[in-house]
Structure 1
Amino acid sequence: MLPGQEDAITYFHSLSAAGFAATAISYGPGRMGFGLFVPELSEAFSLSPAMVGLISSLGFLGFFLALLTAQLLLNRRGPEFPVLTGLAAATLGMGLVSVAPNAGVLAAGVFFAATSAGFAWTPFNDAVHRKIRDVDRPTALSEISTGTSVGIALAGAAALVMVLTGVSWRLCWAVFALAGAGALVANWAALRQVDRAPPPAAGENWRALVRPEMAPIVGVGFVFGTVSANYISFAAKHITDSDGVPGMSVAATPALVFICFGLAGLAGLLTGRLRSWLGLPVLLRGAMLAGAGSAALVALVPGSWTGLAGSAALQGVHVMVTSAILAFWSERLFPAMPTLSFTVALLATAAGNIIGPAIAGAAYDTVGAGAMFLVTAALPMALLAVLRDRHLRDAATAPA
């Protein structure tokens, strides 16, 4: 074994596992738990669809602000500090939701829980770029991003247990908070060995990313953020309002949606290999078509197994594959600024996250959920109409 190769393999396993745990908590129950429990929370706190949209947007605003703060903390303290801050926020936020006496405390808990996603993922791009060999980076980044799938599936399983056993939704959120504390300890053990990155070289700053090749990433990120946030916030509610699916309790609908979502999202583990086999243009177009198909199915056939399982599975593929694409696409285009470029991609995603549910919540009340989801489905189709292969080939041929 060559000198340093053993360390690279060790870092590959430890960072991939730590990142997987961090994203499982922060992007699973932390970021998506509110959408999973919307029916129960709406009943407990008398939330209208518009209010659901506003609370969801507030959570995604926390994600947006945390992304900006994480970059500052990363530059000053290294990847350990922002990741641990995010997991602490997840534990606090989910704990607040579990004991919330009113909608105000609920909203605060959702806000803190969602900030964890902004704090806890992008620093891994920096750690992976510096500690893992170039050939292993796409696989490591795919494994880290796909932690979300397991987190969502397990959160869905917890919600299904709640329905089947009659336990309180508050207990589920308390369990989520305990899991967040466990991930916090595990990441502390893994990341304390990763030192702070060297100071950025001259010209390696936000302004250096204002380049034409960044525009496609920003566009993809914004559309991805809008589509995924609308689905997460309202799909389970729409299917529930349509009396669920044949043969299953209506109360089990949200759990089934998120279990299918999470399990199908495990396809994200194959993103690095699919990119090698298919190329980035084909892979990205497939991910966008999955998002459009997901929204269309839930709009047109919400009261069927096709509408539930089919839309949730396509959305899981859309979210996990696109997340992994953004991670290695930005790292490939800007190898000197892997975390900063990925942060810009996620800021575009967060902007879609904030704007999408706020508008969608109002549309749900006025034109109906079906029309709202059809408009959502049109967004990735419009993106595909203007996106050119040459933009994506630039990423494939960029120097490592």
Structure 2
Amino acid sequence: MSPFLKLSAAGFAATAISYGPARMGFGLFLAQFKEAFGISTTVAGLISAGGFAGFLLGLIGAYAATAWRGPRLPVIVGLTFATIGMIVVAVASNAGVLALGVILAMTSAGFGWSPYNNAVHQQVTEGLRSRSLSIVSTGTSLGAAMAGAVALALMLGGASWRIAWIAFAGAGLAALVGNWVAMRDVAGNPGRGRTNWRAICVMPALPLYLTALSFGITTTIYISFATDSVAQAGGLAGLPDGGSPAVMFIIYGIAGLAALGTAAIKDRIGLPLLVRGLLLVSALSLALIALSPNSWIGVGAASASQGIFVMMMSAVLAFWSERLFPELPAFSFTATLLAVAMGSIVGPALAGFLSNAFSSSAMFLGAAALSAATAIGMLPRFVQEEPLDCGQDASPLPAH
């Protein structure tokens, strides 16, 4: 099997688990967790924020591990965290144990994606790198759809949500073994693992980091609260209690498979138009959850739009950072994901409090406004992808 196929398939499986049930499972089953453990929306927001804080620490650990022993080690660590965390959730007896499992599982996302920029840069020819990174990032689609399908099947059969988490853990173990084998050629080989903060903290990279920050805030608000908002509004007609979140994740995941064509779309319309268009898709998705939380058309369109946005923007962030900083592929992408992680911590925690203080609709409209404002700010002259000289003293980002 060629390096392109091998790494693309392994990375697809890794992100399917780490960014699928491990990262999104808490939001998918939030209504059941509230009932089983008596947690409030504010507490749910804090648990979610804790998980994304683990994601932030995972990013730092992933870069250090990649620089030390190559990209296979952090991917294996991440999938181990995912498997153990999902087992802990499955056997949780109280809210504290649940929180521990959720945080462990969500931490895996920090380890399981960024090392692939390094692995792909080492093993895949330049002309196929954007396509490979798009496939890796789109694994989230399969993970989300799989999680939703398992949840719906169990609910229709009257089975416990705990069985779903046991199934997720089994899939995590399978992905762990597959990545152990597929990444053998990059084990112990750090590749281009240099660190140069001065090189990446330059003005041409500012749109990348601002987009990543906005992406982190809005997507985690959707992941953490959209399904609960729909459930609180009465759910979708014709579905059993708890069925709406599962259907939303299935639609989200299937629509996100469109991201397999992200690189081709970018080549056709250009990066600036693609970035602005995706941010407007995000705004539409969040606004629909606020305005039509119990409409099949509204919720279906919101789920599909969010799936397309998340998967395509994930691919964009991966190859945008790699193109800007080809000499620092792992480090530049880690820095981009740190911006995502900062937004991911702030988003759920702030959204939980705003939802209680005002309303769920107001919270989602605020998130939609943020996506729209980011789109307006991404003027074509500011968005570039031409490689930057990492040894050159470019204009640094302002201190304030």
Q: Same fold (TM over 0.5)?
A: yes
1:115 lines up with 2:107 in the alignment? yes
1:43 lines up with 2:35 in the alignment? yes
> Is the partner of 2:236 in helix, strand or coil?
coil
Q: 2:242 aligns with which of 239, 246, 251?
A: 251
> Is the partner of 1:336 in helix, strand or coil?
coil
Find the counterpart in structure 2 of residue 34 from structure 1. Answer: 26
- Looking at structure 2, the residues matched to 23 and 129 of structure 1 have their Cα atoms a distance apart, in angstroms, of 18
The superposition leaves residues 236-287 of structure 1 with CA deviations (integer Å, 9 ceiling, x where unpaired) of 1111111112222242011011111111110110101000111101111111
- Looking at structure 1, the residues matched to 126 and 191 of structure 2 have their Cα atoms a distance apart, in angstroms, of 19
Q: CA deviation at 1:396?
A: 4.8
> Is the partner of 1:389 in helix, strand or coil?
coil
Q: 2:203 aligns with which of 199, 212, 223?
A: 212
Q: CA deviation at 1:212?
A: 0.8
Find the counterpart in structure 2 of residue 262 from structure 1. Answer: 253
- Looking at structure 1, the residues matched to 193 and 369 of structure 2 have their Cα atoms a distance apart, in angstroms, of 40
- Looking at structure 2, the residues matched to 86 and 187 of structure 1 have their Cα atoms a distance apart, in angstroms, of 11
- The amino acid across from 1:115 in the alignment is T
> Is the partner of 1:358 in helix, strand or coil?
helix
Equivalent residue runs for 1:127-166 within 5 Å: 127-166=119-158
- Looking at structure 2, the residues matched to 384 and 122 of structure 1 have their Cα atoms a distance apart, in angstroms, of 25
Name which of structure 1's ranges 211-220 and 64-73 shifts more when overlaid on structure 2: 211-220
Structure showing the higher helix proportion among its residues: 1
Find the counterpart in structure 2 of residue 3 from structure 1. Answer: none
Find the counterpart in structure 2 of residue 234 from structure 1. Answer: 225
> Is the partner of 2:149 in helix, strand or coil?
helix
TM-score, length of structure 2 as denominator length: 0.95
- Looking at structure 2, the residues matched to 166 and 135 of structure 1 have their Cα atoms a distance apart, in angstroms, of 49
Which residues of structure 1 form unaligned runs of 5+?
1-8
- Looking at structure 2, the residues matched to 127 and 395 of structure 1 have their Cα atoms a distance apart, in angstroms, of 21
Distance 1:399 1:264, change over 3 A: farther
TM-score, length of structure 1 as denominator length: 0.95
Find the counterpart in structure 2 of residue 352 from structure 1. Answer: 343
Find the counterpart in structure 1 of residue 285 from structure 2. Answer: 294
The superposition leaves residues 89-114 of structure 1 with CA deviations (integer Å, 9 ceiling, x where unpaired) of 00010000000111111111011101
Q: Is the 8 A contact 1:332 1:399 kept in 2?
A: no
- The amino acid across from 2:207 in the alignment is P
Q: Is the 8 A contact 2:21 2:147 kept in 1?
A: yes
Q: 1:178 aligns with which of 170, 173, 179?
A: 170
Q: Is the 8 A contact 2:12 2:137 kept in 1?
A: yes
- Looking at structure 1, the residues matched to 346 and 160 of structure 2 have their Cα atoms a distance apart, in angstroms, of 31
- The amino acid across from 2:323 in the alignment is R
1:13 lines up with 2:30 in the alignment? no
Which residues of structure 2 form unaligned runs of 5+?
391-400
Number of residue equivalences: 389
- The amino acid across from 1:395 in the alignment is E
Q: 1:395 aligns with which of 370, 385, 388?
A: 385
- Looking at structure 1, the residues matched to 290 and 97 of structure 2 have their Cα atoms a distance apart, in angstroms, of 32
- The amino acid across from 1:147 in the alignment is G
Name which of structure 1's ranges 380-389 and 70-79 shifts more when overlaid on structure 2: 380-389
- The amino acid across from 1:380 in the alignment is S
1:370 lines up with 2:366 in the alignment? no
Name which of structure 1's ranges 268-277 and 204-213 shifts more when overlaid on structure 2: 204-213
User: RMSD in angstroms over aligned alpha carbons?
Assistant: 1.4
- The amino acid across from 2:46 in the alignment is L
- The amino acid across from 1:224 in the alignment is F
- Looking at structure 1, the residues matched to 193 and 331 of structure 2 have their Cα atoms a distance apart, in angstroms, of 11
- Looking at structure 1, the residues matched to 329 and 338 of structure 2 have their Cα atoms a distance apart, in angstroms, of 14
The superposition leaves residues 169-189 of structure 1 with CA deviations (integer Å, 9 ceiling, x where unpaired) of 111101111111110000000
Find the counterpart in structure 1 of residue 396 from structure 2. Answer: none
Q: Is the 8 A contact 2:66 2:193 kept in 1?
A: no
- The amino acid across from 1:212 in the alignment is M
The superposition leaves residues 287-339 of structure 1 with CA deviations (integer Å, 9 ceiling, x where unpaired) of 10111000000000111012211100000011001000000000000000011
- Looking at structure 2, the residues matched to 369 and 345 of structure 1 have their Cα atoms a distance apart, in angstroms, of 29
Q: 1:101 aligns with which of 93, 96, 111?
A: 93
Distance 1:200 1:303, change over 3 A: closer
Q: Is the 8 A contact 2:276 2:378 kept in 1?
A: no
The superposition leaves residues 118-168 of structure 1 with CA deviations (integer Å, 9 ceiling, x where unpaired) of 101100000101110111011100000000000000000011012100111
> Is the partner of 2:2 in helix, strand or coil?
helix
Q: Is the 8 A contact 2:88 2:98 kept in 1?
A: yes
Find the counterpart in structure 2 of residue 4 from structure 1. Answer: none
> Is the partner of 2:238 in helix, strand or coil?
coil
The superposition leaves residues 371-399 of structure 1 with CA deviations (integer Å, 9 ceiling, x where unpaired) of 1000000001111222221222x215768
Q: 1:224 aligns with which of 198, 205, 215?
A: 215
Q: Is the 8 A contact 1:19 1:121 kept in 2?
A: yes
The superposition leaves residues 198-233 of structure 1 with CA deviations (integer Å, 9 ceiling, x where unpaired) of 4656xx422321111221111000100111000011
- Looking at structure 1, the residues matched to 246 and 171 of structure 2 have their Cα atoms a distance apart, in angstroms, of 19
- The amino acid across from 1:312 in the alignment is S
Q: Is the 8 A contact 1:280 1:396 kept in 2?
A: no
- The amino acid across from 2:175 in the alignment is A
Q: Is the 8 A contact 1:297 1:306 kept in 2?
A: no
Find the counterpart in structure 2 of residue 197 from structure 1. Answer: 190
| Percent identical | 48
